Structure 1
Amino acid sequence: MIKTLARPFLHDRFLQLLLIVGAALLVATPFAPQQWASAIDWHTILTLAGLMMLTKGVELSGYFDVLGRRMVRRFASERQLALFLVCAAALLSTFLTNDVALFIIVPLTLTLKKLCNIPVNRLIIFEALAVNAGSLLTPIGNPQNILLWGRSGQSFAAFVWQMTPLALALVTSLLLLCWFCFPAKKLDYQAREKSPAWQPRLVWGCLAFYVVFLVALELKLELWGVLLVAAGFALLARRVLVSIDWSLLLVFMVMFIDVHMLTQLPLLQGMQNVSTLSHGGLYLLGIGLSQVISNVPGTILLLNYVPPSALLAWAVNIGGFGLLPGSLANIIALRMANNRRIWWRFHLFSIPLLVWSALVGYGLINLLFLR
């Protein structure tokens, strides 16, 4: 059991890279480990921990196998299946947040690989892009929108209205790209044996734990929610706790600390001049900053100097595309794929989409908001 738990930590190249970056930043920033705990967004960490347990429980119950079989029979071609999964990911992310949508869609996609010959890595890449595009529509679609909405004082409908043109443009662009990247090849249904056995007791247990966890999140009792879910699985199915990639949580914790140290660099101490930037300058800064420190920390940093405008909201959401750190959802999706090649292949799609999104977004925002 110890070997199983330790293996992800020992073989996690991305975690090792983050530790090396952190060690380098220690040379250029004040050594203040007492501040590191406060730099970590514990709400995000605890929420991820709970979702990882719940989705792993459903996965090990075998229910995704049952659901996957039904889906394969409904779609005749690879293109139809890809378009459905991309649309589902984008739609779920608008009201479940981008991270939660991935915890539902990616395990299902991995199950489909067992049933038919599909390009699973490409599908997961498009699902990651889809949740970034879909989640920007609503104030609850992703963490940066929650923050911007709270600071803006806008109504739910007003926020959705200002984001609708960008969401429509990006989701439409992504679906067109999906159409050309997935052929109309007939799905080859491989699994001919009888329907797989699954565990209804574990599925219903996961559903009950999910309700408990949601209530705990609503009451701001994340830690108690995680502990209750962990205790439930310890009694119901201990293998769930052993099978989880716990190193993912450490990746996010180290990333938060690295970002905290990055913001202490002298280069970023002169951010007071941000408020004097032109609209184009602020737009490019929001996108560019997201590429380096992710769009959520980028939003937090920029809100110290500029108001929560539509321009800022569009910039940091577009910044979720491009390089891997642009959005935490990118890292979650690619980590769940558990394939080394997917890390560089992701950028073959995400970087061109970033350039396209930036150009389209700037044209639209000039037309609609800056006239």
Structure 2
Amino acid sequence: MNRSTPARKIKSKFELIIQRPFGDPLGMSFSLAVSIAVFIAIAIRQWLPEWIKIWQIMSAGAVAVLITGNLAPTEAFNAIDWNVIAYLFGVFAISHALFASGISEKVSNKICTPGRSIPLILLPFILFVTAVSAVLTNDAAAAIGTPIAIAIAARLQIKASLPLIALCVTVTVGSMFSPVGNPQNLLIVADGHFDNPVGTFLIWLGPPAIVSLAFTLLWFWYRLKTEKPGEAPEAVTPEDVTVHPAPALISTALLSVLVILDSVAGGASWFPDLPLGLISLIAAIPLFVLSSNRVQILKEVDWHTLIFFVAMFIVTGAVLKSGVLQEWLSPWRHQLGDPLLLSSIAFWGSQLFSNVPLVEIYLNLLEKHDVAVLMLLSGISTLAGNLFIISAASNVIIIQQAEKHGIKPFQFWQFTATVLPVTIVSLIVCYGWVALMRVLLNGGS
């Protein structure tokens, strides 16, 4: 019996919208205008009143498309990927438990051992974050890695912005290694029906990810070495370690084992079909059953980021319902497998529409779904997250986690200017490697 992958749970949400006919021109222009307005508002947030947060800007966009009728309440509910929301809820609960129990502080202290040079601090940090991204997704790595990035800033006596941006880059690139590294990878796995998805991602995207991470190490080593001391944050530590570490460790181990088993199992019948959201909720059970601080853990879940994601799905759903992206892609439908066209659309389309819905629509319009095309789509749409703050949800998670800890993160254009060299190098390496692999394994077809 064929077993559906967790990505089917994500895919079905977008199919409800994609299969609808195009909306009317007025609705189309308004939905797109709201999406652009949200992007601009986040870009200029540094000049807005300090109390305005990213989640509030996205929520305003969601309210706008709802009250104008561009998306009905039932359509908005269907547009929300509750599987992703459930996964993030579990991950946020586990990451807070790791922090409140002092485990995150111990990892930070291990990485930031006094006397270590910048490379010896950056290397274990990048390796740790990459491993978490590949096994537990980029969003989990973003939540878990934020206190560690702040600790690095405190250790080096610099602003928190550079280590936090390094975290953003690492979780994005690190998620390329595995089929569960990010949501768009899951969609591609569901569409590609790979016999060995783990091996496929390691062969096609592992080498460019390694080269990109090596360049990331060198680039941020240079940036941190030339960064002037000043305004260093205090290392983020729990005020009082009241949460016992055992439940947090059990939940982390359970989440890792279930995600790995689900990825390795593929289409096998010996492992139940569990969506990632359910896996995350199952993994969080020890926190609320074994811990005496379950109410505290529940209160400290990053609810603002969850609201941001709900609002983002609503705004994106309105744009998808309008049919604007489908209409733009239709003239090139027969050329969507061309590497240059695919890379251009995947990269720039992800900036405006977000990479997950962009990938889903692209998969539905592709005529030929060969491995090279799917791997290039995965790599480029993932690396698109290293251009703007809004390009990857993990960037937003890191910003809001930092603000939750009372740390002022990076500004919109500061992020873009800092990550641009890594973005350019990683895109070239990814494109070149997939092109080479296509020639070697598929005879150039």
C-alpha contact 1:78 1:184 (8 A) present in aligned 2 = no
- State the partner residue of 2:375: 310
Given candidates 304, 310, 325, the residue that maps to 1:268 is: 325
- State the partner residue of 1:169: 211
State whether structure 2 residue 347 is matched by structure 1 residue 287: yes
C-alpha contact 1:97 1:141 (8 A) present in aligned 2 = yes
Given candidates 405, 411, 434, the residue that maps to 1:343 is: 411
C-alpha contact 1:77 1:184 (8 A) present in aligned 2 = no
TM-score (norm 1): 0.82
**Aligned counterparts of 2:428 and 2:69: Cα–Cα separation in 1:** 35
> Would the alpha carbon gap of residues 354 and 274 (structure 1) be closer, same or farther in structure 2, given more than 3 Å must change?
farther
Residues 178-230 of structure 1: CA distance to partner in whole angstroms, max 9, x if unpaired? 22112299x9xx9xxxxx99758611122234456678887444696488467
C-alpha contact 1:12 1:247 (8 A) present in aligned 2 = no
**Distance apart, 1:95 and its partner CA:** 2.2
C-alpha contact 1:95 1:140 (8 A) present in aligned 2 = yes
C-alpha contact 2:111 2:125 (8 A) present in aligned 1 = no
**Aligned counterparts of 1:58 and 1:272: Cα–Cα separation in 2:** 47
Deviates more, 1:281-290 or 1:231-240: 231-240
State whether structure 2 residue 314 is matched by structure 1 residue 257: yes
> Would the alpha carbon gap of residues 368 and 250 (structure 1) be closer, same or farther in structure 2, given more than 3 Å must change?
same
- State the partner residue of 1:5: none
**Distance apart, 1:244 and its partner CA:** 3.4
**Distance apart, 1:16 and its partner CA:** 2.3
* Structure 1: gaps spanning 5 or more residues: 1-9, 191-195
Deviates more, 1:26-35 or 1:99-108: 26-35
> Would the alpha carbon gap of residues 258 and 233 (structure 1) be closer, same or farther in structure 2, given more than 3 Å must change?
farther
Partner letter of residue 326 of structure 1?
S
> Would the alpha carbon gap of residues 184 and 350 (structure 1) be closer, same or farther in structure 2, given more than 3 Å must change?
closer
C-alpha contact 2:136 2:256 (8 A) present in aligned 1 = no
Partner letter of residue 423 of structure 2?
L
C-alpha contact 2:118 2:221 (8 A) present in aligned 1 = no
TM-score (norm 2): 0.70
> Would the alpha carbon gap of residues 53 and 164 (structure 1) be closer, same or farther in structure 2, given more than 3 Å must change?
closer
C-alpha contact 1:233 1:241 (8 A) present in aligned 2 = no
- State the partner residue of 1:78: 118
Partner letter of residue 247 of structure 2?
G
**Aligned counterparts of 2:154 and 2:290: Cα–Cα separation in 1:** 26
**Distance apart, 1:48 and its partner CA:** 0.9
> Would the alpha carbon gap of residues 175 and 213 (structure 1) be closer, same or farther in structure 2, given more than 3 Å must change?
closer
Deviates more, 1:241-250 or 1:65-74: 65-74
C-alpha contact 2:95 2:144 (8 A) present in aligned 1 = yes
**Aligned counterparts of 2:281 and 2:320: Cα–Cα separation in 1:** 32
> Would the alpha carbon gap of residues 352 and 261 (structure 1) be closer, same or farther in structure 2, given more than 3 Å must change?
farther
**Aligned counterparts of 2:100 and 2:303: Cα–Cα separation in 1:** 16
- State the partner residue of 1:205: 247
> Would the alpha carbon gap of residues 126 and 234 (structure 1) be closer, same or farther in structure 2, given more than 3 Å must change?
same
- After superposition, the CA RMSD in angstroms is 3.5
C-alpha contact 2:136 2:181 (8 A) present in aligned 1 = yes
**Aligned counterparts of 2:257 and 2:428: Cα–Cα separation in 1:** 41
Give the paired residue count. 356
Partner letter of residue 310 of structure 2?
M
**Aligned counterparts of 2:191 and 2:89: Cα–Cα separation in 1:** 27
Q: How does 1:42-61 map to 2 (within 5 A)?
A: 42-61=82-101
**Distance apart, 1:342 and its partner CA:** 1.0
**Aligned counterparts of 1:237 and 1:28: Cα–Cα separation in 2:** 40
Given candidates 346, 353, 367, the residue that maps to 2:422 is: 353
**Aligned counterparts of 2:89 and 2:297: Cα–Cα separation in 1:** 12
- State the partner residue of 2:56: 16
**Aligned counterparts of 1:184 and 1:347: Cα–Cα separation in 2:** 18
**Aligned counterparts of 2:103 and 2:205: Cα–Cα separation in 1:** 36
State whether structure 2 residue 336 is matched by structure 1 residue 296: no
- State the partner residue of 2:177: 137
C-alpha contact 2:250 2:286 (8 A) present in aligned 1 = no
> Would the alpha carbon gap of residues 228 and 77 (structure 1) be closer, same or farther in structure 2, given more than 3 Å must change?
same
> Would the alpha carbon gap of residues 63 and 368 (structure 1) be closer, same or farther in structure 2, given more than 3 Å must change?
closer
**Aligned counterparts of 2:173 and 2:256: Cα–Cα separation in 1:** 25
Given candidates 307, 312, 329, the residue that maps to 2:394 is: 329
Deviates more, 1:350-359 or 1:32-41: 350-359
Residues 248-305 of structure 1: CA distance to partner in whole angstroms, max 9, x if unpaired? 1000010011111111234224233343233311210011111112222221121111
